[in-house]
Structure 1
Amino acid sequence: MPGEPLQALRRAREDTAAQIAALHRDLDGVIDASRSSNADDEHDPEGATIAFERAQVAALLDAARRRLAELDDALARVAAGTFGRCEVCGRRIPAERLEIRPAARTCVGCATH
């Protein structure tokens, strides 16, 4: 495997790990804000905003964690020598797809079925 996809995976993993750390800080900030506020999530407009922010950051954090797991799986496939092969049909995944989705497990044809 050429070094470029491996480097891209490593960069994406580093970026995602940094995003997770930032989102943890954001979530901690929202939680601290809700503790220092007397707002009742259900009846106070500010409380509803805090609840929304907490849910939004938590959803972003979950998505980033899933992305990190996908990248870790892709790096494991690199180590196993199976990276870049469709897990369904066994054909090569085009480089263009891997540039857009470095952790792709399937070719476009199999992904749409």
Structure 2
Amino acid sequence: MASHDAISTTTATDLPDLAKVVHSFPVRAGEKPWSAKEVREIAAGLLEEIQRLSSELSAADAELSELLRNSGDGAGDDQADSGSSALEREQELTLVNNTRDLLTQDSRALARIIAGTFGACEACGKAIGKARVQAFPRATLCVECKQREERR
């Protein structure tokens, strides 16, 4: 799989010739085959979100570093201040981790487009479904496999 750095520097012009790749993207019964335009729009949205999330992650990492750097400065703080600072650090860490997860999912979706495996369920190999993938490009499982996973 491509690294975050390689994906975050990918542009729409770096994508493969989608007209040659889209025929490998599976569709469910009754769905029209993927068009290069549909996939190009999804890829553009993913690229835009990857850039936005990368910026957010940089800012959040800097803020978290600042909070951690200042965590030892509270020599005169009372317990409430210390607790508040700990809560703020925990919230910022959660934000950083969530942003990192979204960035990983978006990068993975873009890598699947580049690899020609976009739209195929990673569990069973069947089509995820165009409507599902268009609404949620990060989807890696068809509805049936996702439901099975959630029941475990």
Aligned residue among 124, 132, 152 for 1:97: 132
Report the TM-score, using the length of structure 1 for normalisation. Answer: 0.83
Q: Secondary structure at the match of 1:23?
A: helix
Report the TM-score, using the length of structure 2 for normalisation. Answer: 0.64
The aligned counterpart of 1:3 is 40
1:73 and 2:114 correspond: no
- 1:50: Cα distance to partner? 0.5
- Percent identical among aligned pairs is 30
Letter in 2 for 1:36: D
- 1:4: Cα distance to partner? 0.8
1:20 and 2:63 correspond: no
Residue 45 and residue 39 in structure 1: after superposition, are their counterparts in 2 closer, same or farther (change >3 A)? farther
**Greater C-alpha Rg:** 2
Q: Secondary structure at the match of 1:112?
A: helix
Residue 63 and residue 39 in structure 1: after superposition, are their counterparts in 2 closer, same or farther (change >3 A)? farther
How many residues get paired? 111
Q: Secondary structure at the match of 1:57?
A: helix
Do 1:39 and 1:47's aligned partners in 2 also have CA atoms closer than 8 Å? no
What is the rounded CA distance, in whole Å, between the counterparts of 1:96 and 1:37 in structure 2? 52
1:38 and 2:68 correspond: no
1:107 and 2:149 correspond: no
Q: Secondary structure at the match of 1:103?
A: coil
Q: Which protein, 1 or 2, shows the higher relative CO under an 8 Å CA cutoff with sep ≥ 6?
A: 2
Do 1:71 and 1:103's aligned partners in 2 also have CA atoms closer than 8 Å? yes
Structure 1 ranges of 4+ moved more than 6 A: none
The aligned counterpart of 1:54 is 89
Gaps of 5+ in 2: 1-21, 23-38
